[in-house]
Structures are given as C-alpha cells and as structure tokens.
Chains A and B, each alone.
Chain A
Amino acid sequence: MLYFEKRQSVPQRFKVVIPIISLLIGLIIGAIAVAIVGINPLDVYGGILSNAFGSWYAFSETLVAATPLILITAGLIVVFKMNIWNIGAYGQYIMGAIFSSYFALFASNGLSKPIMLSVMVTASMVGGAIWALIPTLLKIFWEVNEVITTLLLNYIALYILKFLMYGPWKNPTSYGFPLSKTFPQNAILPILFNGTRLTIGIIFALIAVLIIWFLIKKSKFGYEIRVIGDNPLAARYAGISVNRDIIIGMAISGALAGLAGMTEVSGIVHYLQVKIGADYGYTAIIVAWIAYLDPLVTILASTLFGGLASGGYSLQITMRVSYGIVGLIESITLFSLVGAQIFLNYKLRWKNGSS
C-alpha cells in the first residue's frame, strides 16, 4: 500500500529538486497530450523554447511578458505571507491601467515626459491600491471574506473598463472597436533597447522586487507580517497592529498590480482596450506559490511563465498550432508544479498490507 508520511522538516535541496522534477513531469504529460492531437511534441517544445529564449529578441519578448508578472507577484507575496488571500490582482491591474490612462488621454497637455510618466505611475498605484483597500476595509470592519470580495471586484473592474471602452472613452475613429485613442508620445514608457518592446517597466519590476525583498527580510514590517501569518493571536498579544499591517500590505499589493497595468498600457499597448492582459493577475497567484513566496525567486518563476506565454504566442503564428495547445501545456505544467508541493511536506512510502 502506498501512503504519505509527514516530513519532520523540509530539506533545502528539495525546494529546488521537486519543482524541476515536477516541471519535467508536467512537460512529459503535456507532450503526450500534444501527441494525441497529432502534433509532434518535440516541434512544439522546440518552438516554444526558441520563441521564448532562442534569440535576443525572443528573450526580450519573454521579459516583456514577465514584467507585469514580477510586479504583481512581488505585491502578492506581502499579503500571502499574512494569510490574506488577495485574488483581486486582476481587478487591481485593470484599475491601475484605467487610472493612468485617464491622465494619458485627458490631461497630458504640455507636460514633459518624466512628469507625465510620474503622474501616470502614481495614478496607477493609487488606483490599484484603492481597489485593494475596498475589500480590506470590508474584511476588517465587517469580517467579510476577502477571497470573495476581491474576486467580485475583478468583475466590477472589468465592467467599468468595458463601460469606458464602449462608452465615454471610446475612440470615435476606431470603427466600433472598444479602444481608446492612442496615448500621446509623452505618456509612453521609453524603450530600453532599440528593436525590442522592452521598456523601463522591467526596471520598475526589479526595483519593486528589491524593495519587497528588503521589506520582508530586513524590516520591522517584515517581522510583523511573519508573526501575523503564523499566529494572529500571538501577533495581537505582541502588540502588533494586525489590521494596520493588513491595510498596508494590501495597499502595497494593489499598488504593484496597478503599476503592472500601467506598464502594460503605457509601455506595450499604448492605448486602453478591453483586452489588456489582465490574466496576469491570476497567473501571478500561482507564480507566487511556485516561488515559495520568495521575492527573488519570483524573478525566475515569472521569466519562466513569461517565456511559456510569449513562446507559445509566437508558436501560434509561426507553426499555426492553436493557442489552445499552448494553454493546455501551460495548465498541465502549472498543475504538476502546484500539485508537487505536497512532496515538500510529505514523503511517499510503501508498506506491506499488514503491520
């Protein structure tokens, strides 16, 4: 009989070995699925790999996709460590995009680029933070579960975006497409390397990671969120203002998701539209787990998923395989990565029927 036995402690090397093995298993299962559909899995994987990491341009596209993931994940880590389940990065991202777009579309006259971009960055962070604070206050004052409220606010954010795109902010010359006018030049993030779409957004992301790393590992606030996450009663006993820390954490988390929305519209899309890659908000939740809530590991994990997304996207164009196949592989790998975490806390053992 096979059974699970609880580990007394988790050896450090397991934290590296287990994800790698489970990634491989996920890829193998994905390969079988692809083969069943009648496509050569080696072609698909080779394609994804070369489209994600095969050239400088391909890699820059991977980083483009990784940028919002890194930003959102860095923020989520802060609240996840307190066992606060912010599922609302999706909506906070959209609000960040909307808030910054407002200034790009309606208040850009005569401002220099640095000032304009600073205004947009600030606006996006405020927008995301507000969207995160609504469920936080509901939780603190009326004990409403944040999983439900953050999720519901995602839909509300999406409907606000749709309303703006089909209504007041719609570009009159877009032939009925739900898009805004293109942003003026001073509202567009500068490109980092010519010939790529990589903007200084990636720098924002790396700075954010460093700040969050410092916050968690070195600051007093980081100590407090550790205690809150492990035992909220002990935290209160120790005199920690639990609610204040939750509010700060959610504000940070929302602000970074909002900033991710800004880097996307101002850096990549250059106008507001209904499809602005808000799914990053959900992927980031999984990335945060796979990165063991460690801000530095987040960079690696986000790049991996950025590669899968951008590589898969290009594959669809170059090899004419449906994006559904890529989505399938992505979900299978995610599933095996998340599922394999059980091996961190348990080991599988074999035992004869009698004992």
Chain B
Amino acid sequence: MVEIALETRNITKIFPETVANKDISFKLKKGEIHALLGENGAGKTTLMNILYGIYMPTSGEIFINDQKVIIRSPLDAIKLGIGMIHQHFMLVETLSVLENIILGLKEYGFVINKKTVKEKLKEIESLYSLQTDPNVKVWQTTVGEQQRIEIIKVLFRGANILILDEPTAVLTPQETQSLFKILKKMKDDGKSIIFITHKLEEVMQIADIITVLRRGKVVKTLPKYKTTKSELAQLMVGEAQDCNYLRKKRETNEIILSINKLIVYSDKGTKSLKGIDLDVKRGEILGIAGISGNGQKELVQTIAGLKKVAEGKIIFNGLDITNKHPRFISRLGINYIPADRLAMGVAPNLSGIDNAIMRRYYRFPLSKNGVMNYIKALAYTKMMAKAYKIKLDNPFAPIKLLSGGNMQKLILAREILENPKLLIASYPTRGLDIASTQFFRQKLIEIANKGKAVILLSEDLDEILSLSDRIAVMYEGSIVGILKAEKADKNTIGLMMTGAST
C-alpha cells in the first residue's frame, strides 16, 4: 500500500465575503505529483496557504503521515517538511543567492559558517543537477534562476512535500522542461509534489493524479491515464470550450508607431537597448519574442514613458513622444499592461475601486474640478467587474486579496476599457485560466481588427505565434530579426532568441 504523505479532511475557509474552500478532502501520496486545477478564484492558492500555515482553516483537519497536525505558521509547515514556492517569488533582491537560501534558518547561527552551508548546497545541487552561483546577487539573476533558488531554498530546509503555485507561469518552455526534470527526480526520491497550473499540456506531461476545484469545492480527483485535456477543461468550467479566434485579414501599411535608433540605459548604467528601429502598423498585432532580460521590458516601458530615452526618437501618430510624461502618452491612446502586476500594475493595499479607476480618476465624471466622485467610481468598477467577469466580491477590500488571475483580469480590463489606439500587452494572459485566456486573446484581436495596434510580449511562443501578424525577436538589447507570422516557426524564433542566427 502506498503511504499518504498529506491529507486534508473537510477543509473549509470562509473569508468575510467569500467561501474560498468548502469541504475539501484531498490526499497526497508519497512519491506522487498531484496537479491542482481550477478556474481563477477557484480556491487553489487559499488551500495551499492553509497547508503552509499562512491561513488557519475555518474548519477541517490536516494530517501528515497519518498524524493530525495544526499548522499555525510557515515555520510550523517547514518543521513538518512542507515547502512552498509562491505565485510571486519571495526572494530578497539585494542579497546573494547563498544569503537568501539560509535566510531565517536558526541552526546556522548568527555567524554563518559558509563552508558547511556551501557543502550542503553542493550536495543538493548535484543530486538534482541544479546549477547556481551562490555568490551572485538575486537581482542579477533571471526568473528561471530565481525559481531554482526558491527550490533549492525549500530543499535546503529539508522539505518532503513541495507546493508549487503556478510555477510555470513565468517560465519559457525550455525552463519549464528543466523544472519538470527536477520535479521528476524529486518524485523518484519519494518526495510529494502539489503542482498548480492553468496549462493542461503540462498536467498531462507531469502529473500522476489530478484534482479539479470549482468554486471552492472538489469536483473530481482522477488519475491522469484515465482522463483527457478536454475532459479536464470541461470539469473546470462545467462546459466545453472551443479555441477558434475570429481573425480578419487586416492589410494596412499605415504606421502608427515609429521607433528610431533608440538607446536606453538600465538603472545599473549598462545599455539595455542598443539602437532599436521598429515600426508598428495600424491593424496589426506585433509580437515581441525574447528570453527575459534581453530588453523587451525596457523597450515597452520606454514607449509608455516610464524609462528615459538616452538617444533616438519615438513617434506616435506623427507626434514626437520621446521622453514625454506617462500621462501625456496614455492620453494620446497608448496603454500599457505591465509584466509584473504586483510591482507596477496595482497598488496592492488599496481597494478594487481605487485600482480600477487608476487610468481615468482625473477625468469627468470620476472627478470634476479636483473633486472625486466615488459613487461614479464604484459604479464604474462594478461595470468593469461584470463586463470582464472579474470575481470582485467586495470592491472596497484591498485588491491584494483577489486571486492572482482576477487581479490580472482587472488590470487587463482597466487598460482595454480606455479604448487604446496602441495597446502594449506584456504577458497579458499570465495566470489566467483557460476561458479567460481565450476571452482576452479575443479582445486583443478585436482591437487589431478595429484598425488599432497591439504590441504583444510573451514568453509563450505559442501565444505569440497564434496571435501576431509579425514577430520581432530581441536579443541582448537589439532586434535581431522581424518575421511574418505565417513564415515563422517555433524553432527559428527559438534559435534567434538565443542569438544563434540573425
């Protein structure tokens, strides 16, 4: 008989406005990868936060190795051998990798013996073929590396049960594959893994068993070999989905945005854009592909007015917008969906209302002569939540209490409702469930169909390929090539992204 590593019995979690988990009973076996699926707001993160001691359940019990436990804090969870990698990483950017790994560990004392730590680190790294340089600072590392650091950190603390909340949302397909290798190795070592994702291919590839949540309840638990992607999709939303985007042929040669010899420096003083030339046409979706850290983020932030141009020009609709104020640029009709929703997209402790009106609070009818009309603001927020199916139970509550996907939807809705002439969307569907992903992709296409333009940044090449008309590939701060979508394929783009061919 296989041993049960972790079990929950009738876990219920009630928040003031929301029943996030209802009677969840769930078993995790030793040496098993258990995928947790569900729409945005289904209660996945809440359940994991309960297992990791961030929340106490309203009722219900947790068993570890058949022992009833009460987990009051992450410290308790760590002692019980549970490790969690959150939807948003929790590393200290200014510390080194090594310092991050041992942060908060008491047994290494006040004066840290770097030698013993490094030895143990080596052991773990060779066991799972994880590579890191313990001495670099975290801000110098890529997202993929940061995730490896998080994993090492968890393993270092001796975790046997590993929780990963949407770990692949920020990874490139290659990084995802190397993560899966690590997870398989852990599984072979008898560790148990709970894995949350919205990507069904990943589930089919890595999971042994799958539990689907809907509106806080378990719909079904079933082994992978007995199910299919479409059955899972059906279980999640309760109905079948089709995936055909309505595209129009949109031939136009009118240039809406023109970038000339753009040079931008990073905060650290190095050149992050090395003379970019790029035109965006009316009616097109221009995809920008590249491995993160190659200047894509800097490029779009510069267009939005959030980074200083050192040299070069940006012309929008015939108007020079180089180094103009972000408000001036957004009022011209350029809207920007930032990649990192918590860092830039929202003010996390402010209400849903305050966040929903960020783009228009200064205009009539939301404000007049410097005075806000919060009644109109509330109405606007409710309209937004309804039209874009955002699960916003209490618009007055801090936005950080929304589920990751619902927060993302609010940001998307906020920018799209401005009716932009040029929408810059970085990783727009990051963290969205299947239905919402399709809904918002359709929205992007509609914008282009209306003769407006979209710049689409994504690490998901499938997304870029299926939506874009043209694809620009960036490498080390330059555009190494622009391909027509019908002539592009994943391999060529993938090679260009690594600078292998031009």
Q: Is there a chain A Cβ closer than 8 Å to B488's Cβ?
A: no
- Are A235 and B73 in contact (CB-based, < 8 A)? no
Q: Which residue of B lies closest to A238 (CB)?
A: B358
Q: How close is B50's CB to chain A, nearest CB, in angstroms?
A: 12
- Are B72 and A349 in contact (CB-based, < 8 A)? yes
CA gap between A9 and B358 in the complex, in Å: 24
Give every chain B residue within 8 A of A234 (Cβ-Cβ): 344-347, 358
Q: Is there a chain A Cβ closer than 8 Å to B55's Cβ?
A: yes
Q: Which residue of B lies closest to A352 (CB)?
A: B70
Q: Beta-carbon contacts of A218-236 to B below 8 Å, as 1s and 0s? A: 1111110011001101111
Q: Is there a chain B Cβ closer than 8 Å to A168's Cβ?
A: no
Q: How close is A158's CB to chain B, nearest CB, in angstroms?
A: 37
- How big is the A interface, by class? 20 to 34
- Are B354 and A239 in contact (CB-based, < 8 A)? no
- Are B370 and A231 in contact (CB-based, < 8 A)? no
Give every chain A residue within 8 A of B306 (Cβ-Cβ): 236-237
Give every chain B residue within 8 A of A227 (Cβ-Cβ): 347, 350, 354, 358
Give every chain B residue within 8 A of A240 (Cβ-Cβ): 327
CA gap between A223 and B360 in the complex, in Å: 12
Q: Which residue of B lies closest to A9 (CB)?
A: B16
CA gap between A355 and B71 in the complex, in Å: 8
- Are A5 and B371 in contact (CB-based, < 8 A)? no
Q: How close is B367's CB to chain A, nearest CB, in angstroms?
A: 5
Contact A223:B344 (CB < 8 A) given known A218-B371, A230-B349: no
CA gap between A221 and B362 in the complex, in Å: 9
Give every chain A residue within 8 A of B371 (Cβ-Cβ): 218-220
Q: How close is B189's CB to chain A, nearest CB, in angstroms?
A: 26
- Are B73 and A226 in contact (CB-based, < 8 A)? no
Give every chain B residue within 8 A of A223 (Cβ-Cβ): 354, 361, 367, 372
* Interface residues in A252-270 (C-beta closer than 8 Å to B): none
Q: Beta-carbon contacts of B301-336 to A below 8 Å, as 1s and 0s? A: 000101000000000000000000111101100001
- Are A8 and B55 in contact (CB-based, < 8 A)? yes
Q: How close is B136's CB to chain A, nearest CB, in angstroms?
A: 24
Q: Which residue of A lies closest to B414 (CB)?
A: A238
Q: How close is B490's CB to chain A, nearest CB, in angstroms?
A: 32
- Are B326 and A237 in contact (CB-based, < 8 A)? yes
CA gap between A9 and B398 in the complex, in Å: 10
Give every chain B residue within 8 A of A218 (Cβ-Cβ): 371-372
CA gap between A349 and B71 in the complex, in Å: 13
Q: How close is A259's CB to chain B, nearest CB, in angstroms?
A: 22
**Interface-centre pick from A218, A222, A233, A239 (highest chain B CB count, 10 A):** A239
Q: Is there a chain A Cβ closer than 8 Å to B348's Cβ?
A: yes
CA gap between A213 and B428 in the complex, in Å: 38
Give every chain B residue within 8 A of A56 (Cβ-Cβ): none
Q: Which residue of B lies closest to A354 (CB)?
A: B79
Contact A233:B343 (CB < 8 A) given known A218-B372, A227-B350: yes
Give every chain A residue within 8 A of B328 (Cβ-Cβ): 239
Give every chain A residue within 8 A of B72 (Cβ-Cβ): 5, 349, 351, 355
Q: Is there a chain B Cβ closer than 8 Å to A142's Cβ?
A: no
Give every chain A residue within 8 A of B55 (Cβ-Cβ): 8
CA gap between A30 and B350 in the complex, in Å: 38
Q: Is there a chain A Cβ closer than 8 Å to B69's Cβ?
A: yes
**Interface-centre pick from A234, A238, A241 (highest chain B CB count, 10 A):** A238
Q: Is there a chain B Cβ closer than 8 Å to A141's Cβ?
A: no
Q: Is there a chain B Cβ closer than 8 Å to A106's Cβ?
A: no
Q: Is there a chain A Cβ closer than 8 Å to B359's Cβ?
A: yes
Give every chain A residue within 8 A of B73 (Cβ-Cβ): 3, 5
- Are A221 and B347 in contact (CB-based, < 8 A)? no
CA gap between A349 and B70 in the complex, in Å: 13
Give every chain A residue within 8 A of B326 (Cβ-Cβ): 236-239
Taking a contact as CB atoms closer than 8 A, the residue among A220, A233, A235, A236 that contacts B367 in the complex is: A220
Q: Beta-carbon contacts of B474-497 to A below 8 Å, as 1s and 0s? A: 000000000000000000000000
Give every chain B residue within 8 A of A349 (Cβ-Cβ): 72
Q: Is there a chain A Cβ closer than 8 Å to B338's Cβ?
A: yes
Give every chain B residue within 8 A of A9 (Cβ-Cβ): 16
- Are B370 and A220 in contact (CB-based, < 8 A)? yes
- Are B347 and A222 in contact (CB-based, < 8 A)? no
| B-binding residues in A (CB < 8 A) | 3, 5, 8-9, 218-223, 226-227, 230-231, 233-241, 349, 351, 355
13 residue pairs from A and B, CB less than 8 Å apart: A8-B55, A220-B361, A226-B350, A231-B346, A234-B344, A234-B347, A235-B347, A237-B326, A237-B338, A239-B328, A241-B325, A241-B327, A355-B70
Not counting A8-B55, A238-B358, A239-B359, a sample of 15 additional A-B residue pairs whose C-beta atoms are within 8 angstroms of each other reads A5-B73, A220-B361, A220-B367, A220-B371, A222-B372, A223-B354, A223-B372, A230-B349, A231-B344, A231-B346, A234-B344, A235-B347, A236-B306, A239-B327, A239-B330
